[in-house]
Copies of this chain bind each other. A is one copy, B any other.
């Protein structure tokens, strides 16, 4: 695309603080290269829900379908249960557009002190299944409110669903350092995870050049925290990837710095890019939220849109601005504010300071 259509949903909380300057920065970068992005700003948020009863207005998903990508800030507000806010906005978009890969690159950052004493630099990607598994949203209860009440929640794994996720993981590993670690728990989840391992072993056969191993989620979480530098690509189910990616984000120094992409690789449907952090009600309004997670999410988006060169430059600029200290916000151990961090990145890019 030379003129990508990008829908922007700042959402709630600090999403509203980090999204506008990041959009401005990306727009400037693209214009400088002669690329005119068409931005559609959408006010889908908890404010809107409280006013109208809906996160996504009628026709909203069809509107998104006309875009190449969605850049999202954060969703969640203390006034609404997360099960509603996230279920009705975030999870609905992920499912509707069959964004089956949740891509979570995690790497140590220059200028940011890692919380691990012996932390070696690391660079890994959690490839998380994003449309089925534990999040299938199937279940119910009997005898509600009575002593004999029983609640079930069913994970559903399909061969097609698991296979496409693993195939994506192996392909990605083949372009990186060639190692896939698959998260399992077949010793206790003897249906879902035994199956997951079977499919993984099948897919691994098609990638003889990629090293494959599987590790139980408890041991894997522990190993990740012990030494993240031992990992390249981690392929995981929806729930396991959710946990592993948050752990990886802590090891980077702050969850505020971690990006993610909700990707449908076939590109006929829009993919969605969002930082791993939430709406962070505790720091809203103070202007100190790190824009790094949002910026690195924009990097993933540019890559997905085929703007690899711009993606690489933006990534480099974020890292350089961190290394200089000028983009290091309090959560990462520095003193920069949101605006200052964005201006520091813009300066490195040589773009006019917004």
Contacts and interface: CB of A to CB of B under 8 A. Distances in A.
A86 B186 CA distance: 10
Nearest to A217: B243
Interface string A115-148: 1111100000000000000110111110100111
Contact of A154 (B81, B153, B188): B153
Given A82-B186, A117-B115, A156-B151, A139 B246 contact: no
B159 A192 contact: no
Contacts of A82: 186-187, 216
Interface stretch (A21-29, A39-47, A219-227): A219-227
Contacts of A246: 218-219, 221-222
Interface in A241-283: 242-243, 245-247, 249-251, 255, 278
A136 to B, nearest CB: 9
B159 A146 contact: yes
A55 to B, nearest CB: 13
Contacts of A222: 246-247, 249-250, 255
A305 to B, nearest CB: 28
Contacts of A216: 82
Interface residues on A, range: 35 or more
A239 B113 contact: no
A245 to B, nearest CB: 8
A149 interface: yes
A3 interface: no
A284 interface: no
B159 A83 contact: no
B83 A190 contact: yes
A222 B160 CA distance: 31
A304 interface: no
Nearest to A149: B159
A333 to B, nearest CB: 11
A84 to B, nearest CB: 9
A166 to B, nearest CB: 14
Contacts of A243: 217-218, 221, 243
Contact of A139 (B117, B138, B187, B191): B191
B242 A188 contact: yes
A43 to B, nearest CB: 22
A171 to B, nearest CB: 19
A87 interface: yes
A61 interface: no
A190 B239 CA distance: 13
B187 A151 contact: no
B87 A192 contact: no
8 contacts: A87-B190, A139-B191, A140-B191, A146-B159, A148-B159, A149-B158, A188-B238, A222-B246
Interface of A: 81-83, 85-87, 91, 113-119, 134-135, 137-141, 143, 146-160, 185-195, 216-219, 221-222, 225-226, 238-239, 242-243, 245-247, 249-251, 255, 278
Given A117-B119, A225-B250, 20 more contacts: A85-B187, A86-B188, A115-B116, A115-B118, A139-B190, A140-B191, A141-B195, A146-B159, A151-B156, A152-B157, A155-B155, A185-B242, A188-B238, A189-B239, A217-B239, A217-B243, A218-B246, A221-B221, A222-B250, A226-B250
